[in-house]
Amino acid sequence: MSKELENKVALITGGTTGIGRDTAVLFAKAGAKVIFSGRREVEGNETLSLVRAEGGDGYFIKSDASKSADVESLVQKTIDKYGRLDVAFNNAGIEGVWAPLIEHTEENWDQVQNINLKGVWLSLKYEILQMLKQGGGGAIVNMSSVAGLIGAAGAGVYVASKHGVLGLTKSAAIEYAAHGIRVNAVCPGVIETPMAERAFAEPALSKRMLSLHPLGRFGKPLEVAEAVLWLCSDKSSFTTGQYLGIDGGLLIGPNPNA
Protein backbone atom coordinates (compact mmCIF):
# COMPACT_ATOMS: atom_id res chain seq x y z
CA MET A 1 0.00 0.00 0.00
CA SER A 2 1.05 3.60 -0.42
CA LYS A 3 2.68 5.25 2.59
CA GLU A 4 0.36 8.23 3.10
CA LEU A 5 1.80 8.92 6.56
CA GLU A 6 5.45 8.12 5.92
CA ASN A 7 7.64 9.62 8.67
CA LYS A 8 4.60 11.17 10.39
CA VAL A 9 3.92 10.84 14.12
CA ALA A 10 0.31 9.97 14.91
CA LEU A 11 -1.61 10.02 18.18
CA ILE A 12 -4.84 8.05 18.68
CA THR A 13 -7.03 8.11 21.79
CA GLY A 14 -9.25 5.11 22.43
CA GLY A 15 -6.94 2.83 20.48
CA THR A 16 -7.47 -0.37 22.45
CA THR A 17 -10.37 -1.90 20.48
CA GLY A 18 -12.72 -1.39 17.54
CA ILE A 19 -12.22 1.60 15.26
CA GLY A 20 -9.27 2.94 17.26
CA ARG A 21 -7.44 -0.38 17.04
CA ASP A 22 -7.97 -0.73 13.29
CA THR A 23 -6.86 2.87 12.77
CA ALA A 24 -3.67 2.31 14.76
CA VAL A 25 -2.80 -0.70 12.61
CA LEU A 26 -3.71 1.11 9.38
CA PHE A 27 -1.64 4.18 10.34
CA ALA A 28 1.32 1.91 11.01
CA LYS A 29 0.89 0.29 7.59
CA ALA A 30 0.79 3.80 6.10
CA GLY A 31 4.23 4.53 7.55
CA ALA A 32 3.34 6.45 10.72
CA LYS A 33 4.92 6.13 14.12
CA VAL A 34 1.83 5.52 16.26
CA ILE A 35 1.18 6.43 19.87
CA PHE A 36 -2.22 5.24 21.06
CA SER A 37 -3.96 5.41 24.40
CA GLY A 38 -6.79 3.84 26.34
CA ARG A 39 -7.85 2.90 29.82
CA ARG A 40 -7.50 -0.89 29.38
CA GLU A 41 -3.95 -2.14 29.46
CA VAL A 42 -4.56 -5.73 28.28
CA GLU A 43 -6.42 -4.60 25.15
CA GLY A 44 -3.85 -1.87 24.58
CA ASN A 45 -1.03 -4.37 24.51
CA GLU A 46 -3.04 -6.53 22.11
CA THR A 47 -3.31 -3.57 19.74
CA LEU A 48 0.41 -2.94 20.11
CA SER A 49 1.14 -6.52 19.08
CA LEU A 50 -0.98 -6.04 15.95
CA VAL A 51 0.84 -2.81 15.10
CA ARG A 52 4.23 -4.45 15.49
CA ALA A 53 3.13 -7.53 13.53
CA GLU A 54 2.76 -5.18 10.56
CA GLY A 55 6.29 -3.92 11.09
CA GLY A 56 4.99 -0.72 12.61
CA ASP A 57 6.66 1.50 15.16
CA GLY A 58 4.14 1.95 17.97
CA TYR A 59 3.73 2.65 21.64
CA PHE A 60 0.79 2.21 24.03
CA ILE A 61 0.12 4.60 26.91
CA LYS A 62 -2.55 3.95 29.51
CA SER A 63 -4.50 7.20 29.73
CA ASP A 64 -7.94 8.62 30.49
CA ALA A 65 -9.08 11.13 27.85
CA SER A 66 -11.39 12.85 30.33
CA LYS A 67 -8.54 13.93 32.63
CA SER A 68 -6.53 17.02 31.76
CA ALA A 69 -3.33 15.79 33.39
CA ASP A 70 -3.55 12.49 31.51
CA VAL A 71 -4.06 14.15 28.14
CA GLU A 72 -1.30 16.70 28.66
CA SER A 73 1.02 13.88 29.72
CA LEU A 74 -0.02 11.77 26.72
CA VAL A 75 0.98 14.49 24.28
CA GLN A 76 4.23 15.14 26.16
CA LYS A 77 5.11 11.43 26.14
CA THR A 78 4.49 11.42 22.39
CA ILE A 79 7.03 14.22 22.03
CA ASP A 80 9.45 12.51 24.40
CA LYS A 81 9.22 9.34 22.33
CA TYR A 82 9.15 10.67 18.77
CA GLY A 83 9.98 14.37 18.93
CA ARG A 84 6.88 15.82 17.29
CA LEU A 85 3.16 15.38 16.54
CA ASP A 86 1.79 15.48 13.00
CA VAL A 87 -1.67 13.89 13.05
CA ALA A 88 -4.21 12.88 15.69
CA PHE A 89 -7.41 10.88 15.88
CA ASN A 90 -9.50 11.76 18.94
CA ASN A 91 -11.50 8.57 19.10
CA ALA A 92 -12.07 7.78 22.78
CA GLY A 93 -15.75 7.46 23.61
CA ILE A 94 -18.44 5.53 25.46
CA GLU A 95 -22.13 4.95 24.86
CA GLY A 96 -23.22 5.36 28.48
CA VAL A 97 -26.68 4.33 29.60
CA TRP A 98 -29.46 4.73 27.04
CA ALA A 99 -32.85 5.70 28.43
CA PRO A 100 -35.48 8.44 28.08
CA LEU A 101 -34.06 11.81 29.10
CA ILE A 102 -36.08 12.06 32.31
CA GLU A 103 -34.66 8.73 33.49
CA HIS A 104 -30.99 9.67 33.08
CA THR A 105 -28.88 10.30 36.14
CA GLU A 106 -26.54 13.23 36.54
CA GLU A 107 -23.75 10.67 36.94
CA ASN A 108 -24.42 9.20 33.50
CA TRP A 109 -24.60 12.66 31.94
CA ASP A 110 -21.26 13.64 33.47
CA GLN A 111 -19.52 10.41 32.49
CA VAL A 112 -20.63 10.54 28.85
CA GLN A 113 -19.90 14.24 28.40
CA ASN A 114 -16.55 14.00 30.18
CA ILE A 115 -15.24 11.28 27.91
CA ASN A 116 -17.01 11.98 24.60
CA LEU A 117 -16.96 15.77 24.60
CA LYS A 118 -14.58 17.07 27.26
CA GLY A 119 -12.10 14.40 26.17
CA VAL A 120 -12.15 15.69 22.59
CA TRP A 121 -11.75 19.29 23.80
CA LEU A 122 -8.78 18.37 26.00
CA SER A 123 -7.19 16.38 23.19
CA LEU A 124 -7.62 19.26 20.76
CA LYS A 125 -6.20 21.71 23.28
CA TYR A 126 -2.94 19.88 23.92
CA GLU A 127 -2.50 18.58 20.37
CA ILE A 128 -2.94 22.05 18.87
CA LEU A 129 -0.64 23.63 21.46
CA GLN A 130 2.07 21.19 20.39
CA MET A 131 1.45 21.72 16.68
CA LEU A 132 1.70 25.48 17.18
CA LYS A 133 4.92 25.02 19.14
CA GLN A 134 6.33 23.14 16.13
CA GLY A 135 5.47 26.06 13.86
CA GLY A 136 2.01 24.97 12.74
CA GLY A 137 0.72 22.38 10.35
CA GLY A 138 -1.04 19.14 11.16
CA ALA A 139 -4.26 17.20 10.76
CA ILE A 140 -6.73 16.19 13.46
CA VAL A 141 -9.82 14.01 13.16
CA ASN A 142 -12.49 13.84 15.87
CA MET A 143 -14.87 10.97 16.41
CA SER A 144 -18.48 12.06 16.19
CA SER A 145 -21.32 9.84 14.92
CA VAL A 146 -24.49 9.94 12.87
CA ALA A 147 -25.87 10.70 16.34
CA GLY A 148 -24.09 14.04 16.01
CA LEU A 149 -26.39 14.93 13.13
CA ILE A 150 -29.80 13.56 14.14
CA GLY A 151 -31.85 12.93 17.25
CA ALA A 152 -32.36 9.47 18.70
CA ALA A 153 -35.01 8.52 21.22
CA GLY A 154 -33.43 7.00 24.29
CA ALA A 155 -29.93 8.17 23.43
CA GLY A 156 -30.22 11.89 24.13
CA VAL A 157 -27.17 12.17 26.38
CA TYR A 158 -24.96 10.37 23.85
CA VAL A 159 -26.49 12.41 21.01
CA ALA A 160 -25.73 15.65 22.85
CA SER A 161 -22.09 14.68 23.26
CA LYS A 162 -21.68 13.85 19.58
CA HIS A 163 -23.37 17.07 18.43
CA GLY A 164 -20.91 18.89 20.67
CA VAL A 165 -17.97 17.20 18.98
CA LEU A 166 -19.03 18.66 15.64
CA GLY A 167 -19.27 22.13 17.16
CA LEU A 168 -15.75 21.82 18.55
CA THR A 169 -14.50 20.52 15.20
CA LYS A 170 -15.87 23.45 13.22
CA SER A 171 -14.67 26.03 15.74
CA ALA A 172 -11.15 24.60 15.97
CA ALA A 173 -10.93 24.40 12.17
CA ILE A 174 -11.72 28.11 11.88
CA GLU A 175 -9.39 29.18 14.67
CA TYR A 176 -6.31 27.33 13.42
CA ALA A 177 -6.72 27.23 9.63
CA ALA A 178 -4.24 30.09 9.27
CA HIS A 179 -1.68 27.94 11.08
CA GLY A 180 -2.10 25.09 8.61
CA ILE A 181 -3.86 22.85 11.13
CA ARG A 182 -6.82 21.01 9.64
CA VAL A 183 -9.58 19.66 11.89
CA ASN A 184 -12.32 17.33 10.63
CA ALA A 185 -14.68 14.69 12.02
CA VAL A 186 -16.08 11.31 11.07
CA CYS A 187 -19.70 10.32 11.66
CA PRO A 188 -20.07 6.54 11.53
CA GLY A 189 -23.35 4.68 11.45
CA VAL A 190 -23.53 1.38 13.30
CA ILE A 191 -20.11 -0.26 13.10
CA GLU A 192 -19.32 -3.81 14.21
CA THR A 193 -17.49 -2.94 17.42
CA PRO A 194 -17.79 -4.02 21.07
CA MET A 195 -19.69 -0.78 21.75
CA ALA A 196 -22.31 -1.57 19.11
CA GLU A 197 -22.59 -5.13 20.35
CA ARG A 198 -23.45 -3.79 23.79
CA ALA A 199 -25.80 -1.08 22.59
CA PHE A 200 -27.73 -3.23 20.12
CA ALA A 201 -27.51 -6.64 21.75
CA GLU A 202 -31.27 -7.19 21.70
CA PRO A 203 -32.12 -9.04 18.42
CA ALA A 204 -35.20 -6.94 17.67
CA LEU A 205 -33.26 -3.71 18.15
CA SER A 206 -30.37 -4.97 16.04
CA LYS A 207 -32.80 -5.83 13.24
CA ARG A 208 -34.38 -2.39 13.51
CA MET A 209 -31.01 -0.66 13.33
CA LEU A 210 -30.00 -2.77 10.35
CA SER A 211 -33.13 -1.64 8.52
CA LEU A 212 -31.95 1.98 8.84
CA HIS A 213 -28.87 1.26 6.71
CA PRO A 214 -29.83 1.16 3.01
CA LEU A 215 -26.70 -0.83 2.17
CA GLY A 216 -28.23 -3.63 4.23
CA ARG A 217 -25.35 -4.21 6.64
CA PHE A 218 -23.39 -2.65 9.46
CA GLY A 219 -19.98 -1.13 8.84
CA LYS A 220 -16.55 -2.56 9.57
CA PRO A 221 -14.06 -0.69 11.78
CA LEU A 222 -11.54 -0.68 8.94
CA GLU A 223 -13.99 1.23 6.72
CA VAL A 224 -13.96 4.08 9.23
CA ALA A 225 -10.20 3.81 9.69
CA GLU A 226 -9.71 4.27 5.94
CA ALA A 227 -11.71 7.51 6.07
CA VAL A 228 -9.67 8.74 9.03
CA LEU A 229 -6.46 7.95 7.17
CA TRP A 230 -7.61 10.00 4.19
CA LEU A 231 -8.53 12.97 6.39
CA CYS A 232 -5.13 12.79 8.09
CA SER A 233 -3.18 12.52 4.84
CA ASP A 234 -2.12 15.17 2.35
CA LYS A 235 -4.74 13.77 -0.04
CA SER A 236 -7.33 15.81 1.92
CA SER A 237 -5.16 18.93 2.10
CA PHE A 238 -8.00 21.29 1.10
CA THR A 239 -10.50 19.82 3.58
CA THR A 240 -11.12 21.28 7.03
CA GLY A 241 -14.08 21.84 9.34
CA GLN A 242 -16.02 19.03 7.67
CA TYR A 243 -17.68 15.83 8.81
CA LEU A 244 -17.68 12.64 6.79
CA GLY A 245 -20.53 10.17 7.18
CA ILE A 246 -19.50 6.53 6.99
CA ASP A 247 -22.99 5.24 7.58
CA GLY A 248 -24.20 2.78 4.94
CA GLY A 249 -26.68 5.42 3.80
CA LEU A 250 -28.38 5.85 7.19
CA LEU A 251 -28.52 9.62 6.91
CA ILE A 252 -30.30 9.53 3.54
CA GLY A 253 -33.15 7.33 4.73
CA PRO A 254 -34.19 3.79 5.75
CA ASN A 255 -33.83 0.69 3.61
CA PRO A 256 -37.10 0.32 1.67
CA ASN A 257 -36.48 -3.41 1.26
CA ALA A 258 -35.95 -4.15 4.95
CB atoms within 10 A of CB 178: 8
The closest alpha carbon to 228, from 166, 167, 186, belongs to: 186
Distance CA 128, CA 109 (A): 27
Query: Do the beta carbons of residue 65 and residue 119 sit within 8 Å?
Result: yes
Give the bridge partners for 12, in sequence order: 36, 89
Where in the sequence numbering do the catalytic residues fall? 158
Distance CA 87, CA 127 (A): 9
The closest alpha carbon to 221, from 197, 205, 199, 254, belongs to: 197
Which parts of 98-220 fold into alpha helices (H)?
Answer: 106-113, 119-133, 156-176, 194-199, 203-211
